[in-house]
Structure 1
Amino acid sequence: MATPALATYHLMAWDELPDVPVYMEQLLELVNDALAPLGSTVTKTMVNSYVKQHFFSRPTGRRYTRNHVVAVLVVSILKLDFSLPVISQAILQIRDSRQIEPRYEQFRQAFEQALREHPLTIATNDPLTHAIQLAAQTVAAHLLTNQVLTDLAQA
């Protein structure tokens, strides 16, 4: 069972994100506030690295759009379990689809649902058994995701 903070975690919906460009400090505050319950933080160096790795385009006039905020949020969450090359494959697929808003909403909803409704079939009060089940589920989901991304890249 997810911890209470995770069971009620809310990742900002598209319409809750700023609709005007923000400066780096504002982006960091916004993203770090959103990621705090996940135990993750983002630095200016990390954001600059994401730009250099082409996860998203350079900001215009040192201001970041809603698409930039979404990219930093998603990359930061995915980094909790996936390598940057795998994340890059996913980000490029989304960027190339030119459907950033609906794809972000799909990710947000799936992520929140996964935190609330783990599809584990064996219920237990033993924390170690629960941890083992979650670890197995994470690795399985990771492997399946890698396979789907590999298949997409080869298509």
Structure 2
Amino acid sequence: MTTPLTNYDLPAWETLPAMPIYMDQLLALVNQQLTALALPLVTKTMVNSYVKQHFFSRPTGRRYTRNHVVAVLIVSLLKTDFKLETISRAILAIRESREIEVRYQQFRLALAATLAQRAVPRATDQLGQAIQFAAQTVGAHLLTTRALS
């Protein structure tokens, strides 16, 4: 059974694993979120492909960090509505900003507000606004899909 969208919220940054985790743990964490939204699950092959496409760095010793978890989760959400080239540009901009936690929080809050059909307070910077628009797009897609099913 899927989660009511009005109650859905991505995990807070602080609740994501602080210690590196293995691939199976990463998949379990991400797929739990995707299942709640009735989205396709992520596989090992997909994660390896994301590494090859430079969406994020290679794991160290086959262990993935919190940043990896966030990247896989966000790519999985965005790819329902955006081309991989667009996602790649967004990920690169976020990495260059060196504010992964802040940018994840912006996405998380904008997605939750959109799903709850509340207004999203506008970010003041261009990257923040782009992140919010992307989250709103994903949220609107999910709401539309649910309304039509």
Q: Same fold (TM over 0.5)?
A: yes
Letter in 1 for 2:81: D
Q: Tell me which residue corresponds to 2:123.
A: none
Q: Tell me which residue corresponds to 2:36.
A: 37
Alpha-carbon spacing, 1:34–1:61, altered in 2? closer, same or farther (3 Å) = same
RMSD: 2.2
Matched residue SS, 2:4: helix
Letter in 2 for 1:28: L
Q: Give yes or no for the alignment of 1:105 onto 2:132.
A: no
Alpha-carbon spacing, 1:12–1:94, altered in 2? closer, same or farther (3 Å) = same
CA distance in 2, matches of 1:80, 1:7: 19
Q: Give matches, 1:42-121, under 5 Å.
A: 42-117=42-117
Q: Tell me which residue corresponds to 1:14.
A: 13
CA distance in 2, matches of 1:36, 1:18: 19
Letter in 2 for 1:106: Q
CA distance in 2, matches of 1:4, 1:65: 26
Unaligned runs of 5+ in 1: 120-136, 143-155
Unaligned runs of 5+ in 2: 120-135, 142-149
> Which stretch shifts more, 53-62 or 35-44?
35-44
Matched residue SS, 2:18: coil
Task: Report deviation, 1:5.
Answer: 1.4
Letter in 2 for 1:72: V
CA contact (8 A) 2:30 2:72 kept: yes
* Max Rg structure: 1
Task: Report deviation, 1:138.
Answer: 4.8
- The CA deviation string for residues 23-80 of structure 1, in whole angstroms up to 9 with x for no partner, is 0000000100011122221110110000000000000000000000000011011011
Task: Report deviation, 1:93.
Answer: 0.3
Could you list the runs of 4 or more consecutive aligned residues of structure 1 that deviate by over 4 angstroms after TM superposition? none
Residue-pair matches, total: 122
Alpha-carbon spacing, 1:4–1:56, altered in 2? closer, same or farther (3 Å) = closer
Letter in 1 for 2:23: M
Letter in 2 for 1:99: E
Task: Report deviation, 1:4.
Answer: 6.3
